[in-house]
Structure 1
Amino acid sequence: MPHSPLQLLDGLLDEEGLASTAHRFVLGGPFGAEPAETTAERLAHFADAGGLLVETSHSYAGGRAEAAVGPWLRANPGTLGVTTKVGHDSTGGDIPLSRDTVFAHVRSALENLGVETIDILLYHCDDPIRSVAELADTLVSLVEAGHARRVGVSNWRPERLSELATELGERGHTPVASYQFSLAEPDPALLEGSLHAGSAVLDVVRGHRLPLLAWSSQARGHFARTTPKEHHGKPDPYDTAENRDRRVRCRELAAQLGSRPETVALAWTLHHPGVWPSIGPRTTAQIDNSLQACRLTLTEEQVHWLRDGR
């Protein structure tokens, strides 16, 4: 019997059996900002390749992303699980996470996606003026209402994430965490409030055994190109001396393995148990390129060398 996305997500906590499968990848991309036929083609190709989870947000593409994914999900029920995020307006700005606002956005997301229940629902941001207990109560209420199967947060400070994990644990839930995580560590000043899963976040994730959805797992193409690329008219947050050195090492190891630098970098992310890398391919060929990382098994020495050069 095939596994559901949520069974596999829970199975990753056992750190066994799934390290080399396409199940570990989460499909993102420019939903709502590309032709509908392209979206349908990418979703079908990802599902056929063994992918199980698609990622979007209530705010992406000016609020159009969920509705772009919805028609395919409705036409192919049960084929792909879906994770979405609420807490940003259509411009990407944070909004207050009051219970009424969150429920209204979730009901809208359900309608847009055409599903009865969202597999993984995340707060896209924190609302620091509210207690973690209040925000946890809202998440539990969403599960109890049947709106979500699994809940979690993105871009929370590690101390708030730890408190949430405790609060939800006492209510019988293990939250999903969502942060930037890749071999390339971004300049935090250029991430515009988003957070990289550094050592403090990873300590919480590992201490509470939380699944980690790793967005920008390919560092916005850093390992596939040779020159920096602006992001929304701003400097490339991944263009640092340290990350350029890591790209050089990826090229060296890729040459030895008969692979590509970006594939090696993605295999580095896959090496970490309990991490689900989110990929943003724009074509089916790019999906296939990303899935090649499943076929690379890196040694512990290679993993450390890629990151630290020793």
Structure 2
Amino acid sequence: MYTASKERYTAMEYNRCGKSGLLLPKISLGLWHNFGDTANFENMKQLCFTAFDNGITHFDLANNYGPEPGSAEKNFGRILKEDLGVYRDELIISTKAGYDMWEGPYGNWGSRKYLLASLDQSLKRMGLEYVDIFYHHRMDPDTPLEETMGALASVVQSGKALYVGLSNYDGKTLNEATEILKELHCPFIINQNRYSIFDRTVEKNGLKDMTDRLQKGLITFSPLAQGQLSDRYLNGIPDDSRIRTDGRFLKETTLDSHRLEQIRKLNNLAAKRGEKLADMALGWLLQHKEVTSVLIGASKPQQILDNVKATSCAPFSEEELKLIDEISQS
């Protein structure tokens, strides 16, 4: 039986999520990869234990995480039942719905029918009575925003979620959704979006600025740009790389000569700071006042231990920030 480290809260730092009462660890664990049916269950357990032992209290899932869809929630539910569940009140567990999950017209996007049914399925797979945060996973151009936000309000009213969040929204739609949720007295506290040195979409679509103006939390995923912002590809693509074994996310064509040169220049800057590239990339995100937490993925416990170090990265000088922009946006 797993027993959590008594030192688990000594090193991790926690940020307030917007103006809410909820604190999130600066580093959170995402279960997007490495928790599906093709992964090793014992390794999944060690990833969760290592995270919690080092103050990572937040575990982020979605209905379709796998493969197969639903399997990440199922496997995490087993870990909760066998070991981690005794610490439930110390955990923040989030899940989402918005992408294709089951066959037919009711298993996708943002209808009330889909969202409520999906959350019931997620709770069943994880063996939980409620999640701490339930997200709508992406904007739906065809369902009225009032319907989607009304469904989010309903899950809180029913006791199946404590807070709600929005994922992959832009600034304009975030503002509109916030007004609706405010009228419904729904505790909307957080946005989840892709953000990294290489991906500045939230800076361009108004999401980052709107998050700050509305005083909502922002948790970022793919902070290392699927491993590009690490020492993984400094010398090309390794034979055992996920690019070669699982091409669903990072494409080999992305790592052209220009991108590899950018990675090497950023790595040189990190070395001058006395850091690894991954540490600098995570630290770069955390130095933005809008960012509440950074979601990491891991295939080995050691990666979690390495990433946690980013919470103590040295401050960035204006010159360093300018250089990072020049390298990454060239």
Bucket of the pairwise TM-score, normalised by the shorter protein: 0.7 to 0.9
The equivalent of 2:3 in structure 1 is none
Match of 1:163 in 2: 176
Structure 1 residues 34 and 309, CA, compared in 2 at 3 Å: closer, same or farther? closer
User: What is residue 270 of structure 2 aligned with on the other side?
Assistant: 254
3-state secondary structure, aligned to 1:197: helix
Out of 177, 183, 186, the position equivalent to 2:197 is 183
1:267 corresponds to 2:283: yes
Determine the structure 2 residue equivalent to 1:191. none
Find the aligned partners of 2:229 and 2:198 in 1 and give their Cα distance.
Answer: 8
| One-letter amino acid matched to 1:115 | L
Partners of 2:216 and 2:208 lie apart in 1 by 9
Q: Deviations over 1:150-174 (max 9, x none)?
A: 1122122332121101211233333
Cα displacement (A) at 1:91 = 8.0
Preserved contact between residue 19 and residue 215 of structure 2 (Cα < 8 Å): no
Give the CA deviation at 1:254: 2.0
Q: Residue 143 of structure 2 aligns to which amino acid in structure 1?
A: R
Alpha-carbon distance in 1 for matches of 2:167, 2:264: 30
1:51-66 counterparts in 2 under 5 A? 51-61=56-66, 62-63=68-69, 64-66=71-73
What amino acid is aligned across from residue 49 of structure 2 in structure 1? A
Residue 26 in 1 paired to residue 28 in 2? Answer: yes
Report the Cα offset of residue 293 of structure 1: 0.9
Amino acid at match of 1:203: D
Partner of residue 88, structure 1 = 99
In structure 1, what is the equivalent of residue 226 of structure 2? 220
Please say if 1:202 is aligned against 2:208.
Answer: yes
When Rg is computed on C-alpha atoms for both structures, the one with the higher figure is: 2
Say which SS state the counterpart of residue 202 (structure 2) adopts. Answer: coil
Give the AA of the match of 2:263.
Answer: R
Shift of 1:14: 6.4
Asked if the contact 2:99–2:108 (Cα under 8 Å) also holds between the matched residues in 1, the reply is yes
**Higher helix proportion (structure 1 or 2):** 1
Q: Do the aligned partners of 2:17 and 2:216 also contact (CA within 8 Å) in 1? A: no
Partner of 1:48: 53
Alignment of structure 1 residues 139-154 onto 2, 5 Å: 139-154=152-167
State the SS of the aligned residue for 1:182: coil
The two structures, once aligned, show a CA RMSD in angstroms of 2.9
Conservation of the 8 A alpha-carbon contact between 1:86 and 1:122: yes
Q: Structure 2 counterpart of 1:55, which letter? A: D
How far apart in 2 are the matches of 1:161 and 1:240? 35
Report how far residue 39 of structure 1 moved: 0.8
- Tell me the TM-score normalized by structure 1: 0.83
Pair 1:304-2:322 in alignment: yes
Distance 1:220 1:234 in 2: 6
Number of residue pairs matched by the alignment: 290
Give the Å deviation of 1:238: 5.6
Alignment TM-score, normalising by the size of structure 2 = 0.78
Report % sequence identity: 22
Instruction: Render the CA deviation track for 1:274-301: whole Å, top value 9, x for unaligned.
Output: 4211111101111111111112122241
Answer whether contact 1:81 1:119 (CA < 8 A) is retained. Answer: yes
The answer as to whether partners of 1:184 and 1:238 remain within 8 angstroms in 2 is: no
Instruction: Please list the CA deviations of residues 90-132 of structure 1 after superposition, one character each: whole Å capped at 9, or x if unmatched.
Output: 4899814221221111011011112211111111122211221
Separation of aligned partners in 2, 1:274 and 1:152? 15
